[in-house]
Structure 1
Amino acid sequence: MLNGFVFKEFRIRHDRCAMKVGTDGVLLGAWACGGGRILDIGSGSGLVAMMMAQRFRHAMIEGIEIDGDAVQQSCENAEQSVFAKQLRFYHGDLRTWQPQHPFDAMVTNPPFFLNSLNAPDKSRAMARNAEFLPFADIFSFASRWLVKTGCLSAIVPVEAYELFAAEAALQGFFIERLYHVKPSLRKPVRRCLVSFTRLRPEMYDEKTVVLSCPDGSRSEWYAALTRNFYIK
């Protein structure tokens, strides 16, 4: 599909979105904690929100996104899916947005190019640049709108992880799960999947996972994680 991606139960068009469907979003959507009310921070095309709707059939999922074109397209993607009644997307800035209720879970694939606006496309630069959605703002919002027993799940580049985790700790969040993601066995860790809670766990689940086998096929872990989403 030239301008989008087809999954088992829905399709995502992303030609008007700065950030396209990619492995990071799929990983987050398949791995993140859920609940009755879920918020996708920086919802883009609606991919992660749609995956959460498929996984948590009785949940209500909302998305907040600063790029108007992406919001419009995510709404269209939702309307054309079987999950339309579960999904709502809002155009706004997380720093000023006032939701109508707290959330049981939050998910985010935050901007990750620190202090860089080199992308020629303004929308893409905004989507990729942490200055437009500082990590501090994510956790400040979560501290006010995530229920005490709730969970915030994210995927971040390994280079940004220490800063992200430090900000979480500064605002009273504790690691619940931490998965170090390697593209293949011989390559270094490139991404971190991490979930936080405000209730200090006695210990947290930490492991290293690999996405692909030497022959290029999906690893057993990645195949199991995404089996309900990928067609092939």
Structure 2
Amino acid sequence: MSNQTFKFKQFEVNQDQCAMKIGTDGVLLGAWASIEKQPFAILDIGSGTGVLSLMLAQRSSAEVLDALEIDAMAYEQCVDNFEGSPWGDRLFCYHADLAEFTEEIDDQYDLIVCNPPFYSEDYKTENTQRDLARFQEAMPFEHLIESVSKLLMKDGVFCTIIPFKEEDQFIALASALNLKVDKRTRVRGTINSEIKRSLLEMSFCEPARSDDKNVINTTELIIETTRHNYTEDYINLTKDFYVKM
């Protein structure tokens, strides 16, 4: 993905100051995240360019759309992208780290979304900014889930996208903080490729009853049939955003 402005149908996103450029993961999450409960207040953790917040501003009538970004350059770009959008009056970005934000803010949110850094390999690149955005140690899953458990309203929804290989661990960590998976979509590049990503929708567990069983609504999404030939499911999910869909 180039540094140039990324043009969606209803907004544009500049990304030359952000280490992590717009990619499939973020667009998938922005299009997939549930707004069925008509959230009043939404939080985007680790906003980067702000694309998730912008997509949710387009999709919802939420009056509060807060974003959180620790990297100074990405924060500035996110603010500029918000101000240049049709929904600038509803969008606000905080320049803070997640622990600081969680400790200091009194608000809670109906919907929290996060496209977290999750590359936990031992090596690092020479690009410190990209490392901060990309590597799991910048926002460990435990830290993310603990913060979500404090910032999410009791009847709120948390949506995220993670590597499929991390799904069991992530669900176990969430369960320890009383969060359960209600819906998940597992993503393949093509029908013959391995599952690469898991889109997860989570909420707080209700008081347990002996006959309760957590039934997870599980689906699968295949992105392409062949190179640049997209499946009907993927087109239907993203057609409100991608210009060429």
TM-score by length of 1: 0.95
Post-superposition offset of 1:221: 0.7
1:61 to 55, 60, 65: 65
Any idea what the Cα deviations from partners look like across 1:164-191, whole Å, max 9, x if unmatched? Answer: 2221111110001111100011111111
**1:33–1:117 distance in 2 versus 1, CA, 3 Å:** farther
Question: Which of these two proteins has the greater Rg computed from alpha carbons?
Answer: 2
SS in 2 for 1:96: helix
SS in 1 for 2:117: coil
Paired residues for 1:161-176 under 5 Å: 161-176=167-182
Which 10-residue stretch deviates more, 26-35 or 108-117? 108-117
Paired residues for 1:35-74 under 5 Å: 35-74=39-78
Q: Is the 8 A contact 1:28 1:154 kept in 2?
A: yes
Do residues 135 (structure 1) and 136 (structure 2) align? no
**1:84–1:114 distance in 2 versus 1, CA, 3 Å:** same
Match of 2:228 in 1: 216
Q: Is the 8 A contact 1:111 1:130 kept in 2?
A: yes
Name the count of aligned residue pairs.
Answer: 232
Q: Distance in 2 between matches of 1:186 and 1:140?
A: 36
Q: Is the 8 A contact 2:41 2:62 kept in 1?
A: no
1:78 to 67, 78, 82: 82
Which 10-residue stretch deviates more, 90-99 or 115-124? 115-124
Gaps of 5+ in 2: 207-212
Post-superposition offset of 1:117: 4.8
Post-superposition offset of 1:114: 1.7
Match of 1:193 in 2: 199
Q: Is the 8 A contact 1:148 1:199 kept in 2?
A: no
Match of 1:207 in 2: 219
Match of 1:153 in 2: 159
Match of 2:209 in 1: none
Post-superposition offset of 1:115: 5.2
SS in 1 for 2:195: coil
Match of 1:23 in 2: 24
Which 10-residue stretch deviates more, 53-62 or 42-51? 53-62
TM-score by length of 2: 0.90
Do residues 112 (structure 1) and 118 (structure 2) align? yes
Instruction: Look up the equivalent residue of 1:218 and give its one-letter code.
Output: Y
Match of 2:98 in 1: 94
Q: Distance in 2 between matches of 1:159 and 1:205?
A: 19
Q: Distance in 2 between matches of 1:63 and 1:160?
A: 25
- Over the matched positions of the two proteins, sequence identity in percent amounts to 33
Q: Distance in 1 between matches of 2:123 and 2:66?
A: 28
Poorly superposed stretches of 4+, deviation over 6 Å: none
Q: Distance in 2 between matches of 1:59 and 1:160?
A: 33
Any idea what the Cα deviations from partners look like across 1:116-147, whole Å, max 9, x if unmatched? Answer: 35122111101111111111111111111100
SS in 1 for 2:156: strand
Instruction: Look up the equivalent residue of 1:69 and give its one-letter code.
Output: M
Match of 2:34 in 1: 33
Instruction: Look up the equivalent residue of 1:111 and give its one-letter code.
Output: P
Match of 1:12 in 2: 13
